Homo-oligomer: A and B are copies of this chain.
């Protein structure tokens, strides 16, 4: 029986580390570290920078492209102009919902059950992907997206699933890789790991992080994440996580490599970094006009081409607020109450003027950021925006709304899957 003890004290050590031969890591880590030294906006001012949310303030979205669109070279046509063939999906922030008719507040257990129904419907309706956000706030139920995604994987058969976005800055990349590798195995290779710096700042105090490290946390953790997907046994050291000296990280995913997307808002350096790393790009557009992102997407493609990445590696996805109804008017009437509730509350807290229907209609107009309307309108808008941005590979409509009834959300998903997606695919 003493043999049992031997099992207990055996250590799993990668063969490479036994031979003191570090694994080959394809990513040029020096490059990544150089990029961050130019991407920080804190400069030498000696105080903590404001966070750059993945969903940035409007003023930045509008102005930065003009300031920095030519960052890496003279203006000109994008090096990679694709036909607008767009995969259509849904993203969800799993927020608390109040039923607009009954006033019933949908609590977390019921909301998560609804969410799984929504994902199952998206799967059956032919949609390409479903993404889950990450928040650490009382009114959201998505603080543990890998857990939600696993339940979704177990209930679906074909739809791709992913994070939207995973707040990489606040998590251990080893745990995140283990979770997404396991998800990839359970889903049969249907996972996309979209990582970002996070659009809310409450992760920072909750996990003991300093906002002064906002960018270096992300850069360093992305570096380690990419090394982990390249090899199970990594030798690595950094500032924000204990060193690895060749320990094995298991299990390994079905997809090799596991797709890692970079979720960005309006920060030019983030677009350039994703391009230079040859990682697919997920752009969150929550304000302004989608066409204003063209110079930033161009920057991404130039940076990628300059680093030698083939055009097919440089995929572009858009994450936008949206909803599909039977008519434009019906869609707007369905979405407006939640929009109004949300912005009424905020305007009271902040002393802003109260929101109104005119502002809402402007945001959801033909050039606005909100993809709202009947299927024809959504198809037109997707086609036009894809063309304006030199081609996009994916668009995910984020339909979360605190006054959207479960049945209406299901109807929106079904219309997106059965009416919008096939027509966009056939374009």
Contacts and interface: CB of A to CB of B under 8 A. Distances in A.
Contacts of A207: 172, 174, 242
A151 B201 contact: no
Interface in A410-425: none
A161 to B, nearest CB: 12
Contact of A147 (B141, B183, B243, B250): B183
Interface string A108-150: 1100110010000000000000000000111111011011111
A426 interface: no
A387 B199 CA distance: 56
Contact of A150 (B138, B150, B201, B208): B150
Interface in A1-38: 1-12, 14
A252 interface: yes
A336 interface: no
A11 B151 contact: no
A277 interface: no
Given A3-B352, A202-B11, A146 B143 contact: no
A4 B254 contact: no
Contact of A288 (B1, B150, B185): B1
A259 interface: no
A178 interface: yes
A312 interface: no
A41 interface: no
B185 A141 contact: yes
Interface string A258-286: 00000000000000000000000000001
A4 B350 contact: no
Contacts of A5: 57-58
B188 A109 contact: yes
A48 to B, nearest CB: 14
10 contacts: A4-B55, A9-B51, A113-B186, A136-B178, A137-B248, A141-B251, A143-B251, A151-B151, A175-B175, A208-B243
Interface of A: 1-12, 14, 51, 53, 55-59, 108-109, 112-113, 116, 136-141, 143-144, 146-155, 171-172, 174-175, 178-179, 181-183, 185-186, 188, 199-202, 205-209, 232, 241-245, 247-252, 254, 286-288, 342-343, 346-347, 349-350, 352, 355, 359, 363
